[in-house]
């Protein structure tokens, strides 16, 4: 069953060598080289219509299967396979929001009512937690294989879960904390393998399979459910 004709945005990029399509929770984006004529975009999108439809349907099915975060007092948010009860207090005199976890409860104090303030407060908290959760796993993984990394950053990219530069600089998406813990474990192992092999050649996948035999199932989970990992 086809979905309705998808709308899309166009973004020019100096780094793009050819046109590509990104389907995320935010919508459909067409990334094109700076000099590509705009009249070539529509035929390109039309040629990829079947793939766009399949991707959107898969995202909607995944969203229907997973409980969404409820960002209000008494709601719930995910955290590495757990569901934390959310408690929200509105304190107009507060200058900066504050979030703290107590057992299975997450307490958020914000200065104004509404989901936007809660989302902003929770994102800051998740970013801080991600640095700790990732660092523990990353340090353990590199020590096990006798490698090292140069730096660690936590980001919120729309289309990338993690990256490893040729100099060993690591970057991870805080939204991985919204997934089950084995998914974060897999992504860390994936990037640590890039410290040794920087491409996605068969050698890379063989190395990853040797270190994490179940990675294929975890990769499939992330592809299917990645769009649902948002507040």
Same domain, yes or no, for 110 and 56? no
Residue 216 forms part of a structural domain: yes
In 3-state terms the chain splits into helix, strand, coil percentages (rounded to 5) of 45, 25, 30
Residue 3 forms part of a structural domain: no
Residue 190 contacts residue 162 (beta carbons within 8 Å)? yes
Same domain, yes or no, for 97 and 153? yes
Same domain, yes or no, for 80 and 55? no
Residue 70 forms part of a structural domain: no
Instruction: Tell me if the pTM is above 0.85.
Output: no
Which of left, alpha, beta for 178 (phi over 0: left; psi -120 to 50: alpha)?
A: alpha
Q: Residue 33 belongs to what domain range?
A: 8-65
Same domain, yes or no, for 105 and 174? yes
In sequence order, what are the residues at sequence separation of 6 or more whose Cβ sits closer than 8 angstroms to the Cβ of residue 207? Answer: 193, 196, 197
Same domain, yes or no, for 42 and 145? no
Range with lowest mean pLDDT among 120-129, 159-168, 203-212: 159-168
Instruction: DSSP for 173-222, please give it.
Output: EGGGGGS-HHHHHHHHHHHHHHTT--S-SHHHHHHHHHH-TTHHHHHHHH
Can you tell me which residue has the tokens 């948010």?
77
CA–CA distance from 81 to each of 131, 219, 229 (Å)? 17, 17, 12
Q: 37-88: per-residue pLDDT in tens?
A: 888 888 888 898 888 888 787 777 766 677 788 899 999 999 999 999 999 9
Give me the CATH number covering residue 224: 3.30.2010.10
Cα 23 to chain centroid, rounded: 13
Q: 133-173: per-residue pLDDT in tens?
A: 999 999 999 999 999 999 999 999 877 899 999 999 999 99
Same domain, yes or no, for 60 and 84? no
Task: Tell me the H-state helices in the chain.
Answer: 41-47, 49-65, 115-145, 181-194, 202-211, 215-225
Q: Please check the confidence at residue 116 and state whether its pLDDT lies above 90.
A: yes
Task: Please state at what angle helix 49-65 crosses helix 215-225, rounded to 10 degrees.
Answer: 100
pLDDT value, residue 2: 41
Residue 222 contacts residue 179 (beta carbons within 8 Å)? yes
Q: How many domains does the chain have?
A: 2
Same domain, yes or no, for 104 and 150? yes
Residue 193 forms part of a structural domain: yes
CA distance 67 to 42: 35
Which of left, alpha, beta for 209 (phi over 0: left; psi -120 to 50: alpha)?
A: alpha
Closest CA to 98 of 115, 79, 120, 83: 120
């Amino acid at each position: 069953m086809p979905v309705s004709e998808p709308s899309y945005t166009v973004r020019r990029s100096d780094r793009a060598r050819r046109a590509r399509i990104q389907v995320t929770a935010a919508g459909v984006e067409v990334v094109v080289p700076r000099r590509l004529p705009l009249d070539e975009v529509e035929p390109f999108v039309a040629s990829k219509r079947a793939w766009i439809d399949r991707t959107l349907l898969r995202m909607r099915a995944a969203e229907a299967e997973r409980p969404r975060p409820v960002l209000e007092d008494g709601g719930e948010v995910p955290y590495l396979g757990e569901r934390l009860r959310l408690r929200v207090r509105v304190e107009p005199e507060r200058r900066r929001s504050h979030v703290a976890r107590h057992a299975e409860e997450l307490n958020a104090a914000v200065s104004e009512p509404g989901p936007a303030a809660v989302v902003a407060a929770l994102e800051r908290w998740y970013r801080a937690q991600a640095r700790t959760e990732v660092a523990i796993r990353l340090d353990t993984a590199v020590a096990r294989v006798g490698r090292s990394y140069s730096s660690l950053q936590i980001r919120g990219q729309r289309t990338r879960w993690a990256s490893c530069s040729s100099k060993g600089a690591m970057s991870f998406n805080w939204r991985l904390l919204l997934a089950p813990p084995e998914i974060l474990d897999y992504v860390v192992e994936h990037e640590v393998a890039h410290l040794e092999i920087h491409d996605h050649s068969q050698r890379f996948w063989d190395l990853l399979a040797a270190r994490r035999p179940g990675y294929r199932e975890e990769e499939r989970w992330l592809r299917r459910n990645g769009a649902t990992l948002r507040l």
